[in-house]
Chains A and B, each alone.
Chain A
């Protein structure tokens, strides 16, 4: 229904639809200053083909930008790829002094923090989605919680990190003392807790959307058969919204994997393979943030760029998967 040029429109009558005032006003604004209405020629001389070319070029520039990013990352990590090869992903020692670069500790650190955060976040975001999408769709309670969750999404990650350092780390430390584990305070658990607070808004807002899209005749049919509200949610709403919720989880996983500042500040920055969830570690993003500016030597720098490359590819795959699920979902309906 879109992309009409002048040619396609010949002999076509615009359907009468929409508020006449605004449309008329806008049309008049455009008409004054056209060839029929006055000084058009002096003001805007842009032929249709030039304009379309400009649009085309800018559209393609987005693809070029993404490819350029991928190629630059690849080109800059060549020294590391050449020297270390595939073992880069499986070696456990990262020691710039001796020139050993194995990124397994950071892969494990990233996976542990992200999955733990996701585990915590799923429970809460599902609750918030059901709360806002099913129980309280409108009204002051709903807008209060909705506004709160939106606010949570807007706080910069460095502030979460600072709050974590100032508040959460001492609390975790005292918990660790109680549990008789080494009381670092910083570590995977602390990072996961902060990460989960940061990703809840993402999965919750998508979850709320898909849950509120469940057709009410389906729910009413189940209710009229004598199902309780809980049974309706479990047997009708959740199965119907399943793929949307999954997409939300995937998108927030992508965010958790790449989250840098908050994690860097509370994870403890240890380059060893983490032994427990209380141990300090490093994620792929945090090792880059910590060491990139002080990286000397070609292979050292290239190794860090290679970690960025892995991060880029993984998040791209996760994002594409999430989008595919969303697209499939909208086709099914």
Chain B
């Protein structure tokens, strides 16, 4: 074991230095920040365009005095409903034939008119390309009803609390799903790099020197942990960037997100541990698969099915995120490759710590099993060592 770990350290140190000290690592670090950057730029432009673009209105053909109660009713309703979601009203003076005016208004582009409201307040009539049972018609109905009242009938007193059971379970499920999604995408981005790791040694013919000096498990463990360390370095940079963005966009920063059941410190600690284990589990599988490839072309061919496999595993874990004690969620927690994703969702919703301890030990066991199988497969198929019988013959005997 000491020899294995020492060898893994030598391999890992070289790989980490070769990765982190290369010029391309800067692009690796900047890569995930590009979407944020472009999102910010194009989001800002989009918002600006959206704010400048005129939204459709309901044209109200009425005198200023008839329109005033309706406008007041809209203002009152806008306090309860998002203003953006409330129908916009614009007054027009009545002119001659009402039918001609309706036709002109419906053809108007400045502003674009969704419907025309006439006969306010005695005989209101709405004309336009709208559903009679749709949102616009119902909102106009509400505004008209409210406009009949000069004052609101009563004021509801509101007492604010931070949490309520109804909202908390939803919030925690959302936190769990966010945790799962972040974990999945980070692993997706990072672990597929492991597919091509052993190709370097194979194409450079260094694998012979390594295999003569160290147990082949050292090569696998060293590479896995070197890439994990490089990934964690990247994560630190990205997390700092994302935290800064959230802090600048949302009042209260990270603390404003729904709190997980086990609390933020334990949840974040578990998130780091489960990321590492998810990375190690999937990375060990990908390292094993990639080690069978002889060329970069073969690695590229393998990338797509491997990515799809990750998506399937994520899907399996994600479907059970909302109900951590369901049979599906427990199955996802037991299946090694989905276990970290299932357990991070559980951490958001259930306060017990012991299932996490058990899951972490279980996942570590599987990392060791996969590495062991992977290195044996490498010795057998790549180094041509061990029994010469094929696996299917071995199963038959």
A binds B: no
**Residues of A bordering B, CB below 8 Å:** none
